[in-house]
Structure 1
Amino acid sequence: MADQTAASHSNPTVDPYHHLQIAPNPDDTITRLAEYPNSPPTCDSNLPTPVLSKDIPINQSNNTWVRLFLPRHVLDQSPSPTATPTTKLPLVIFYHGGGFIILSAGSTIFHDFCVNLAIDVPVVIASVDYRLAPEHRLPAAYDDAMEALHWIKTAQDDWLTDYADLSNCFLMGSSAGGNIAYHAGLRAVVGVDHLKPLKIRGLILQQPFFGGTQRSGSELSMANDPVLPLSCCDLMWDLSLPRGFDRDHEYCNPTVGGGSKHLDEIKALGWRVLVTGCDGDPLMDRQIELVKMLEEKGVQVVGRFIQGGYHGVEDVELSKAHELFVVFRSFIIQL
């Protein structure tokens, strides 16, 4: 009945392929028609940028890589080029958004977000570029997320070894990246000993992308949302989930079956989870459901939901991003 209600509220003239600027191909791939702006990394310390960045390959056969962000001030505070700083910064491992099907760690929208995050908190950031669906359906992105964690724990790059506190690590993601951070956390908690010296302290899920077959109230009331219409959510899940599965797959709906059994391990390790959202986002009810489920499981969780906004608002509006970074800073320092 809920699906029928949603259908009656939807606008059949809204084409999700057109909205997302993608075209389907007969071989189960898509052509990405939009040319989203990309930003190159800036690793030249002679340039007056407040944050340095550089790209490093992780798995060349899968074409996955990581973009590291380092606040310049930590270099300026080092007593000499060969001295190790006495105080290291927390490490944020970031997964970008894009509905699992578009954008990258080099997209300007996420590059700029990470630059500002590195300045405001401050933190060292490893922004992971993972394989996209439908060419690589889930769990490919989760596999890449975990491979990045194992790469980071042994990486000999001086930005990580000298300036990042690997014992003070957070998995973070925006939208689909929030979904990836959540599922990477569920995997990582099983093998924490294998990730040492990397020690995860918590998850930061920024407007995480979840769904389900039963429509939520916010989905129904904002079915034709100009930023994230329901038809686009459905299409992104159709293109991302393993073939033959609906939106009640655990990758999409974290509350299925009462939630993952690994949440007990997250509780036992004392990880904390921050979930952020806004009431202008059709996904807000999903995010609130996640917070409630984590509370029922005894996981330490903080929900931060604001009025107004839209899906991805902090990725676009710098003033909203700065407000969010204050919350992130408090959450990270509190641990």
Structure 2
Amino acid sequence: MVPTTTENTQPADAVDPFSYLGMVFNADGTITRKEEPLQTPATFDFTQFPVFTQDITINQSNNTGARIYVPRKTLESTTANLLPVIIYIHGGGFVIGRPSSPIFHYFCSVMAVETPALIVSVDYRLAPEHRLPAAYQDIVEVLQWIKTSPHELLVKYGDLSKCYIMGGSAGGNIAYHAPAFIKDVDLKPMIIEGLVLIQPYFGGTKRTESELRHVNNPTLPLHVNDVMWDLGLPDGADRDHEYCNPTVESKLGVCDWIRKLGLRVMVKGCDGDPLRDRQVELVKMMNERGIEVVSSFDEGYFHGIDVFDPSYAKSLCLAIRNFISPAHETTL
């Protein structure tokens, strides 16, 4: 598989990207996934996490669903207010990860407690078996399910008039594109108030300075990043396809729909992320399009810090709480 970027910066001693992703690349161009890593079951053990979690199936034929998180304090309170609802989309370059993956399960557990919020963590279809826009379409299906077949936990504890679509890394890419896919969908009584994009995953055919500076980034090596885009984008698409590069001419008109739907956007990044320059470009573009954006880029850290560092996760949840609060702060 030849990366579609115009610049080859793969280190000579780079690890095999497919092995890095838990896959084997076959001679016929298909991939075989290795044995699935250990998954965290939905847990009712409050000694481990002070949250109640439950898995639900949304589309059995597509094997898609979600994991719902409700803070224990909310379950036990007789006077608790309804919680804002965060539809969370995990990362993994479109090709790996599930809500039950330990890092995503732990992060959603922390977010449910620290924000606090009712979390719907989406189990969407993965590439290359299901290339983009499959994941985008799955988010629409989840939102329609919340509207038409609300789970008892959502009915009892969730405020459907205060919903946010949030994603980290590739999940941030999916969350960003969601408005263009829901533009003609009547979601009432749901009201989507905003997007939360954590180190959103974007690219382009020309390398950026931050990509070249972090070519050997431990959590997102550039040659692995190349392969994930090759596996995730539609067949024949290069990295100046609008699914990857939001700064190119858009047939979907994503920014226009974010503005028309009146969505506020939070973008969080860091200097140690190879994709930082892409994220800065995104913020600049949204500001120029008249979208209300609250953005912050921390010094240091690395791509995926939100799900790998518990202390960072807690501070991030504080920023999210400020953003979704009625009297939200303008700095993170």
- TM-score, structure 1 normalization: 0.91
Task: Report deviation, 1:324.
Answer: 0.8
- Residue 72 of structure 1 and its aligned partner are, at CA, apart by 1.2
Q: Please give the residue correspondences for 1:173-252 in structure 2 after superposition, counting only pairs within 5 Å.
A: 173-188=167-182, 190-191=183-184, 194-252=186-244
Aligned counterpart, 1:38: 39
In the alignment, what sits opposite 1:108?
102
Which secondary structure state, in structure 2, belongs to the residue aligned with residue 274 of structure 1? strand
Q: How does 1:33-182 map to 2 (within 5 A)?
A: 33=34, 35-43=36-44, 49-78=49-78, 87-182=81-176
Question: Counterpart of 1:72 in structure 2: which amino acid?
Answer: R
Inter-partner Cα distance in structure 2 for 1:182 and 1:153: 20
2: CA distance, partners of 1:94 / 1:78: 27
Contact 1:55 1:68 in 2 (8 A): yes
- Paired residue secondary structure (1:257): coil
Query: Aligned partners of 1:253 and 1:296: how far apart in 2?
Result: 17
Q: Could you tell me which runs of 5 or more consecutive residues in structure 1 were left unpaired when the two chains were aligned.
A: 80-84
Identity of paired residues, percent? 51
Distance 1:67 1:160 in 2: 12
- Tell me the secondary structure at the aligned position of residue 183 of structure 1: helix
Query: How far 1:215 moved relative to its partner?
Result: 0.9
Separation (CA, whole Å) in 2 of partners of 1:196 and 1:123: 20
Contact 1:28 1:134 survives alignment (8 Å): no
Q: Structure 2: how far apart are the matches of 1:127 and 1:311?
A: 20
* Residue in 2 that maps onto 1:322: 314
Query: Which position in structure 2 is the counterpart of 1:306?
Result: 298
Structure 1 CA distance, aligned partners of 2:299 and 2:48? 37
5+ residue gaps, structure 2? none
Post-superposition shift, 1:78? 2.1
Deviations 1:61-120 (A, max 9, x none): 0000110001111121126xxxxx6x2100000111111111111111000000000000
Q: Which amino acid aligns with 1:332?
A: I
1:57 counterpart SS class: strand
Give the drift of 1:232: 0.8
Aligned equivalents of 1:166, 1:326: Cα separation in 2: 21
Greater share of residues in helix:
1
| AA matched with 1:148 | V
Query: Aligned equivalents of 1:18 and 1:104: distance in 2?
Result: 18
Task: Confirm whether residue 263 of structure 1 aligns to residue 264 of structure 2.
Answer: no
User: Which has the larger displacement, 218-227 or 323-332?
Assistant: 218-227
Query: Cα distance, 1:220 vs. partner?
Result: 1.2
SS across alignment from 1:185: helix
Measured on the aligned residues, the alpha-carbon RMSD in Å equals 1.9
How many residue pairs match? The answer is 322
